[in-house]
């Protein structure tokens, strides 16, 4: 596997990839599992699975799990501090339809997520890495991530939701996704205002920043 933005922190994620399951408070070393993961075995049901990439302090994940008990959620986060904070929020609300993964998102998708098994990906306010020399680290500059998102989205109804306040990053993201032949841009859904906001979005809207959103659906070739 090659990754243009690799660094010590990135390889630390690969060496310590962990999953926290809320139904039994178990911390699982994913390196001991033969991939891909079995969602029914993990959650104990066959409900659809949605993934939030970069769940941060957990506001979106917690509210989504509360409002949609018939959906299983996975929050991927590369900060162990935030993984533990979100775990406490999920426990406080007694939510067991969510798991947390400490990992690099592209690596987790490539190695642990089964084909066509994800109902939706939520990527809200990914790190824009604004300095020119760091932009290779942007999530959507990693071709592995886009390829794996397409591979793992449900071929009948898979959706990808993106939001950012960073203008040039949004232009780049939309360009890359528009050029992905397996995805269809949904302009009306992209303009929808009835959705759960992350902590970042609430903060940025309070500051008067422009928020850019885009929603894509996998092409149904069945």
Tell me the per-residue pLDDT of 18-74, one tens digit each, with 9 for 90 and over: 999 988 888 999 888 889 999 999 999 999 999 999 999 999 999 999 999 999 999
Check pLDDT > 80 for residue 9. Answer: no
Per-residue pLDDT tens digits for 180-199: 999 999 999 999 989 999 99
Q: Helix, strand, or coil here: 195?
A: coil
Instruction: Answer left, alpha or beta for residue 105, where phi above 0 means left and psi between -120 and 50 means alpha.
Output: alpha
- The stretch 197-209 carries a mean pLDDT of 95
Q: Is the pLDDT of residue 12 over 90?
A: no
127 given a catalytic annotation:
yes
pLDDT in tens, 90-128: 999 999 999 999 999 999 999 999 999 999 999 999 998
The pLDDT value recorded for residue 136 is 85
pLDDT for res 52? 98
In this prediction, residue 182 carries a pLDDT of 97
Band of the pLDDT at 15, cuts 50, 70, 90? low
What pLDDT is attached to residue 1?
33
Question: What is the structure's pLDDT at 221?
Answer: 61
Residue 5: what pLDDT? 42
Catalogue all structural domains in the chain, each as residue range(s) with its CATH number.
19-32+39-218 (3.40.50.150)
User: Residue 13: its pLDDT value, please?
Assistant: 52
Report whether pLDDT(2) > 80: no
| Residue of 127, 132, 154, 179 with catalytic role | 127
141 within 8 A of 174, measured Cβ to Cβ? no
**How many Å apart are CA 58 and CA 88, to the nearest integer?**
10
Prediction pTM value: 0.91
- Please determine, for residue 81, whether its predicted confidence score (pLDDT) is greater than 90: yes
């Amino acid at each position: 596997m090659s990754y243009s933005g690799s660094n010590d922190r990135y390889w630390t994620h690969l060496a310590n990839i962990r999953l926290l399951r809320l139904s039994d408070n178990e911390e699982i070393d994913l390196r001991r599992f033969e991939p891909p993961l079995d969602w029914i075995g993990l959650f104990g049901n066959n409900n659809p699975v949605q993934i939030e990439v970069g769940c941060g302090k957990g506001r979106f994940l917690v509210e989504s799990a509360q409002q949609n008990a018939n959906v299983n959620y996975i929050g991927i986060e590369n900060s162990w501090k935030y993984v533990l904070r979100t775990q406490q929020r999920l426990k406080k609300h007694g939510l067991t339809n969510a798991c947390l993964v400490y990992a690099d998102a592209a690596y987790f998708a490539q190695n642990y997520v089964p084909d066509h098994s994800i109902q939706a990906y939520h990527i809200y306010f990914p790190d824009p890495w604004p300095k020119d020399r760091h932009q290779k680290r942007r999530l959507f500059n990693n071709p592995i991530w886009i390829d794996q998102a397409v591979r793992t989205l449900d071929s009948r109804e898979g959706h990808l939701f993106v939001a950012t306040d960073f203008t040039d990053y949004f232009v780049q993201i939309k360009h890359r996704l528009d050029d992905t032949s397996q995805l269809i841009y949904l302009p009306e859904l992209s303009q929808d205002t009835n959705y759960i906001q992350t902590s970042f979005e609430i903060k940025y809207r309070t500051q008067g920043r422009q928020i850019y959103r885009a929603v894509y659906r996998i092409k149904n070739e069945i």
